[in-house]
Structure 1
């Protein structure tokens, strides 16, 4: 505690060791400035502090107000409670927090218009543009793969030009490929959500069946 308190002081956001203890025990509210300072001092991201461990990296949550656990499933965290009336699967929350996918329809109020199916692609593209890093600003861990992909695209474009395709035709092909990829990505994501819902339903049905027996 003392070392963390000293780090925070050096960052210009001093918090006494007793104050850090109160934060850990949820006896003191944390503001945005505290959150940023703690993230820097602890060498994690603000998202990590807000949401807890990423999916698949947690055994059992310590904060019951943040996490919602289904006892029948053992120790797996099944939902993250963002708000009193909103609890979502960890993967959905992290994908949203990282700017990969919007939350979708589940958060909408009853008096708000639903997004039409044909508008999902535009909504997702807009969400990523406003909330995620562009492809050329990806982390170093992705840099090698991104560079290889860019090289492949460069070679493919040059080969297409050598074969006589016009610049306009190539642009149309790229647009068509991107549209197809987004559609497949959306369908795959929806299928994964449906599978997880079916899996949860099967687990609950099995649990009820065992109790009845």
Structure 2
């Protein structure tokens, strides 16, 4: 019934765009055709916007984190409004269904309201090297590597090119000065390697040693090796410091002796001049 009324109203309001005289029946038929075409166009579903894998991950992440925080859509909307980035409850529902895009400001506001880091929405919460994560622009990446990249610990592996050059470029362009300096020092790299190895040991231990005995042993050995490297680097730094202190003390003693010699020479020179005047 509604469709019929809409069609009738459309026939009444539509004017034919032609200069050729038409009969009343032809004009009515043309108006009816135009109205039916308009109605069909309005009812036709809009083509869906193509979403990449990261957009889908964000949509799933928002819903999971909201439920973990035991927040309703309305409560999350209120938090976003309070934070100065209002998103209506219906818009949040569309985000979770993957029907609304999330721009970078929305993403930051959502992570703030949910009390998580941006990585918690951009990546699935899995970091086993046996799992993979699809990242827009990078394809399938090992889950642990993806999280290290998102945590600003390393670059993503490239299919081609020099890996060391890529890592250098990553450190140069991705890290602030303080972190870049630390990462460039051997001790900083040793600390990072040890931390990663210890993380792997803990992860495998939690998954059950009985199922992965060889992997656990390998990771434990790698962690011990990293610890040995760190201890060696710290010992080297300590030796360098002691050598620097020793050299500094020797240099300071030399300067003192030189200063004493100059004072002595000046003293002798002053005495000779005084004797000549008398």
For normalisation by structure 2, the TM-score amounts to: 0.38
**Which structure has more helix as a fraction of its residues?**
2
Q: Give the greater-gyration-radius structure (CA).
A: 2
For normalisation by structure 1, the TM-score amounts to: 0.49
